[in-house]
Amino acid sequence: MKNIRNFSIIAHIDHGKSTLSSRIIEFCKKLSLNSLNIKVLDSMELEKEKGITIKSRCISLNYLYNNEKYNLNLVDTPGHIDFNNELKRYLYACEGVLLIIDALKGIESQTVINYNIAYKLGLKILIVINKIDLPNINIYNLKKKIKKKFKNYNNKILKCSSKYGFGIKNIIKYIINYIPNPICKINNYLQALIIDSYFDNYLGIILIIKIFNGILYEKKNIVFLSNNFVCKIEKIGIFKPEIKYYKYLECGRIGFIIIRNKNINKINIGDTITNYPNKNNIFLKTFKKPLSQLFISIFPKNKKYNYFKESFKKLYLNDYSLTYKKEFSKIFGKGYRCGFLGILHMDIILERLYREFNIKTIITFPNINYKIYFKNGKKKILNNPNNINENEILKIKEYIVKLKIYSPIKYINSIIKLCIKNRGIQKNIIYKNNYVKIIYEIPLNEIIYNFYNNLKNITNGYGYMKYKFLKYKKSNIVKLNILLNKKKINNLSLFIHKKKIFIIGNQILDNLLKYFSKKMFNINLQISVNNKIISSKTIKSYRKNVISKCYGGDINRKNKLLKKQKRGKMKLKKYNNFKINKNIIINFLKII
């Protein structure tokens, strides 16, 4: 235990976390530079493609330092704002962090957010400037900026080039000397925290755990404190990064346990595991489940509902920020209403459904929560406009957040413009050195889609933001319906602010028309709000001249062809609902 170091590498995206992790693994395993050239850590196919780290990985390494054997446990974490809670979870397993800063790009938004998260959790922080091989960098200036920004940082600022492997040995020396070992009571009862879990087709349910007290044994029964569920551990082990099984794991370790598949519903990430029988009902300090902000309905297009259901269970095991509950649609059948943290999270889940489970999906427009007051006196918080009759609505209140934006002072005017455009109400502006903190009250529906990207663009990547729920406030929110040939398309309604109905309504119509343009029947698409049509577009069917190729007068043949064409049209006419695909949603998100 004395020689265990549990640490994580955190940074703004692209500053080099995964590259540095690979270098540290190579160094400890005495592998040559770049022999781990596929980034072992980004093992999920999707991660490699998007170049981002979604699910964190923990890898155990042994290292000989001053003739003593050390066990270094390295956790690679995601850098995107949508995954901050994932980062926090893994940090619960660590005693320290390396905060990587790109020598050229310097301190960026997520650098500051990550520093504060680690600091608040009481972790030892080591700042490392990476990419010192790049030309035109000024390390002296960057160090000055770091000291100014992180006043309570009093350790040495380290330097390295993960690309070329400079400075790695020194980083490891600092990890050993400055990051504290875990402190726990070996002979006490067992307490282990479930940090993460996932489903593996060959191995079954895998729980990533950190042991805070006691010893965990293979083949013994354990209890999950949140639901008093008892089950047997099949196997325990550690990632090195390849799987290695052990008979037992002692406290201070981050490892995994494997349990039987039938227990999938009983697993809660953040739960405490203890011995069976359970005498000490003490939960470990744990992280909060993040609230879903963005909701869509998902229906399976190419698979049966039961398969879809089982796939969701497996996905959920690995992504506890996802929420889902049953939904039924007359058109699309059985599906789920799902909640996500943001757009990227939604995109990743849809992509994973397809890649890992081969499920193609039909989805609806995203919505957020609204507080709806009905004429009959009832009120409800809802995010799904589809089953609500607008005639019964008295008023709608929208979700307002307190938004804090941090940025270098020079971008202040553009930021204020952006906030005003998105119906923000200014509350405060605080100047500090070269930075400014801008506080706004702003509707969530204005900032959840593209706002963060816009902020990044206007501040050259330097601005960052965070927000939290403030109140529900009365607003001009309406329900927008889409009609195809005068019939409402169920499941495609959305809540929207009145000032946006024309822009968004027309864009949606244009996008849908493109979708229909190849169909052989007349199409009329309309947008209605409060039972009034506010926009209408039509395309005429294009009638193929099927008999043009028939020379001469064989009337029977002509009739046959015309009949066939008519049958085709009849079939298409029945097609008065359609399946929305991701591209339509993505176009929608670009304009909202």
Which residue has the CB atom at the shortest distance from Mg ion?
18
Helix axes 305-317, 343-357, angle to 10 degrees: 120
Q: Tell me: does residue 53 bind Mg ion (CB under 5 A).
A: yes
Please give the Cα distance from 207 to 266 (Å, whole number): 12
Instruction: Please check whether residue 568 is in contact with residue 488, taking contact to mean a CB–CB distance below 8 angstroms.
Output: no
Give me the least distance between CB of 11 and Mg ion, in Å please: 9
**Residue closer to Mg ion (CB basis): 82 or 441:** 82
Q: Cα separation of 252 and 254, whole Å?
A: 7
R_g (Cα) of the chain, nearest Å: 28
542 DSSP assignment:
P
Shortest distance in whole angstroms from residue 23 CB to ligand GDP: 8
| Sequence-separated (6 or more) residues with CB below 8 Å from residue 495 | 367, 368, 370, 385, 396, 445, 477, 478, 479, 480
Identify any residues that bridge with 68 across adjacent strands, giving them in sequence order: 65
Q: Which of 28, 40, 44, 53 forms a contact with ligand GDP (CB under 6 A)?
A: 53
Minimum distance from residue 101 beta carbon to Mg ion (Å):
15
Nearer to Mg ion, 13 or 520 (CB): 13
Pattern 195-234, ligand GDP, x by CB under 6 A: ----------------------------------------
Quick one: which of 4, 5, 6, 11 contacts ligand GDP (CB under 6 A)? 11
User: Is 130 a binder of ligand GDP (CB under 6 A)?
Assistant: yes
User: Of the two residues 41 and 448, which places its CB atom closer to Mg ion in the complex?
Assistant: 41
16 binds, among Mg ion, ligand GDP, none (CB under 5 to 8 A by kind): ligand GDP
Choice between 18 and 274, CB closer to Mg ion: 18
19 binds, among ligand GDP, Mg ion, none (CB under 5 to 8 A by kind): ligand GDP
Q: Which run of H or E residues covers position 347?
A: helix 343-357
Minimum CB separation of residue 32 from ligand GDP in Å reads 17
Tell me if 56 contacts Mg ion by CB under 5 A.
no
Q: Which is nearer to Mg ion, 40 or 236 (CB)?
A: 40
Residue 110 lies near Mg ion (rule: CB under 5 A): no
Residue of 131, 253, 479, 500 interacting with ligand GDP (CB under 6 A): 131
Give the one residue of 8, 18, 56, 318 binding Mg ion; rule: CB under 5 A: 18
Residue 354 to residue 249: CA distance in whole angstroms: 36
Q: Which of 71/170 has CB closer to ligand GDP?
A: 170
CA separation for the pair 547, 228 (Å, rounded): 74
Question: Helices 451-458 & 412-421, crossing angle to 10 degrees?
Answer: 160
User: Do the Cβ atoms of 409 and 482 come closer than 8 Å?
Assistant: no
DSSP letters for 398-434 = EEEEEEEEEEEGGGHHHHHHHHHHTT-EEEEEEEETT
Q: 473 is written with which tokens? A: 């406030």
Distance, in Å, from the CA atom of 533 to the CA atom of 527, rounded to the nearest integer, reads 6
159 is a site residue for ligand GDP (CB under 6 A): no
Judged by CB under 5 A, which stretch of 9-17, 406-414, 471-479, 512-520 contacts Mg ion? 9-17
Q: State in angstroms the smallest separation of the CB of 198 from Mg ion.
A: 18
Give Cα separations from 260 to 184, 223, 257, 263 (angstroms).
29, 14, 10, 6
Secondary structure (3-state) at 254: strand
Contact 162, 134 (CB under 8 A): no
Is residue 384 within the footprint of Mg ion (CB under 5 A)?
no
Question: Quick check: 550 binds ligand GDP (CB under 6 A)?
Answer: no
Instruction: Tell me the closest approach of the beta carbon of residue 14 to Mg ion, in angstroms.
Output: 8
Instruction: Tell me how far, at minimum, the Cβ of 99 lies from ligand GDP, in Å.
Output: 11
Which CB sits closer to ligand GDP, 50 or 404? Answer: 50
Q: Which is nearer to ligand GDP, 31 or 420 (CB)?
A: 31
Q: Which residue, chain included where needed, has tokens 């309570």?
A: 152
**Dist CA 514 CA 232 (whole Å):** 56
Is residue 13 near ligand GDP by the rule CB under 6 A? yes
15's contact among Mg ion, ligand GDP, none, with CB below 5 to 8 A by partner kind, is ligand GDP
The pair of structure tokens assigned to 178 is 């400055």
Pick the piece of the chain touching Mg ion (CB under 5 A) from 15-23, 175-183, 463-471, 538-546: 15-23
| Contact of 157 with 129, CB cutoff 8 Å | yes
Ramachandran quadrant class, 199 (left: phi over 0; alpha: psi -120 to 50; beta: rest): beta
Q: Counting contacts by CB under 5 A, is residue 6 touching Mg ion?
A: no
Q: How far is the CB of 454 from Mg ion (least distance, A)?
A: 24
Rounded to 5 degrees, what are φ and ψ at 510?
-60, -45
Distance, in Å, from the CA atom of 36 to the CA atom of 263, rounded to the nearest integer, reads 35
Cα distances (angstroms) measured from residue 445 to each of 235, 337, 367, 463, 494: 46, 18, 8, 20, 12
Q: How far apart are CA 147 and CA 324, in angstroms?
A: 44
Instruction: Decide whether 14 or 310 has the Cβ nearer to Mg ion.
Output: 14
| Helical (H) or strand (E) element with 356 | helix 343-357
Among the candidate windows 10-18, 233-241, 281-289, 577-585, which touches ligand GDP by CB under 6 A? 10-18
Task: Say whether residue 134 binds ligand GDP (CB under 6 A).
Answer: yes
Q: Which residues bind ligand GDP (CB under 6 A)?
A: 11, 13-19, 53, 79, 130-131, 133-134, 161-163
Q: Which residues bind Mg ion (CB under 5 A)?
A: 17-18, 53
